[in-house]
């Protein structure tokens, strides 16, 4: 009887563990994260252009999203999704500063949380951007130029 219970317990735990596998970042999921962030950054760009409140967060958002694009093209999907999520957070800050509200594109879904966990700290990500000599555009430059260069 004990051996039967042990076998059942092992089978049940095996089934449970295999069914709980986390969602992985792949080309499609990462592309969707980036596209969603791109739409939000486009909205933010217009809000900053109209509101004229330059906090530097639009520039940060674009810098992170450009790096996410580079990572995506290099097939580093999880890292690309992580940078894109951070870009989205900066875009929301810029929107709020310009008295605009984020659309549903500002929401981070459970699926997005799963593919980006654990999410590195902003300072860790900024260190990598510095190491890569990835430029930080100013809000003013982005408003004047209009080319965000974030499309994939």
Q: Is residue 46 one of the residues assigned to a domain? A: yes
- Picking from 81, 44, 37, the residue whose alpha carbon sits closest to that of residue 59 is 44
- Picking from 105, 78, 70, the residue whose alpha carbon sits closest to that of residue 23 is 78
Q: Is residue 101 one of the residues assigned to a domain? A: yes
* Domain that residue 66 falls in: 24-145
Q: Is residue 11 one of the residues assigned to a domain? A: no
Q: Is residue 50 one of the residues assigned to a domain? A: yes
Q: Is residue 90 one of the residues assigned to a domain? A: yes
Q: What is the pLDDT of residues 112-145, one digit of tens each?
A: 999 999 999 999 999 999 999 999 999 999 999 9
Q: Is residue 58 one of the residues assigned to a domain? A: yes
Q: What is the pLDDT of residues 46-105, one digit of tens each?
A: 999 999 999 999 999 999 999 999 999 999 999 999 999 999 999 999 999 999 999 999
Domain count along the chain: 1
Q: Is residue 9 one of the residues assigned to a domain? A: no
| Model confidence, pTM | 0.85
């Amino acid at each position: 009887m004990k051996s039967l219970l042990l076998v059942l317990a092992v089978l049940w735990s095996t089934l449970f563990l295999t069914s709980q596998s986390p969602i992985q970042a792949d080309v499609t999921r990462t592309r969707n994260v980036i596209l969603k962030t791109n739409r939000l950054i486009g909205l933010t760009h217009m809000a900053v252009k109209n509101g004229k409140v330059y906090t530097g967060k639009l520039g940060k958002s674009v810098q992170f999203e450009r790096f996410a694009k580079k990572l995506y093209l290099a097939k580093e999907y999880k890292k690309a999704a992580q940078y894109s999520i951070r870009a989205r957070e900066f875009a929301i800050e810029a929107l709020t500063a310009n008295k605009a509200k984020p659309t549903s594109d500002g929401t981070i879904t459970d699926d997005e949380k799963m593919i980006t966990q654990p999410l590195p700290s902003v300072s860790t990500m900024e260190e990598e951007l510095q190491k890569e000599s990835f430029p930080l555009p100013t809000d003013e430059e982005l408003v004047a130029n209009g080319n965000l260069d974030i499309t994939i």
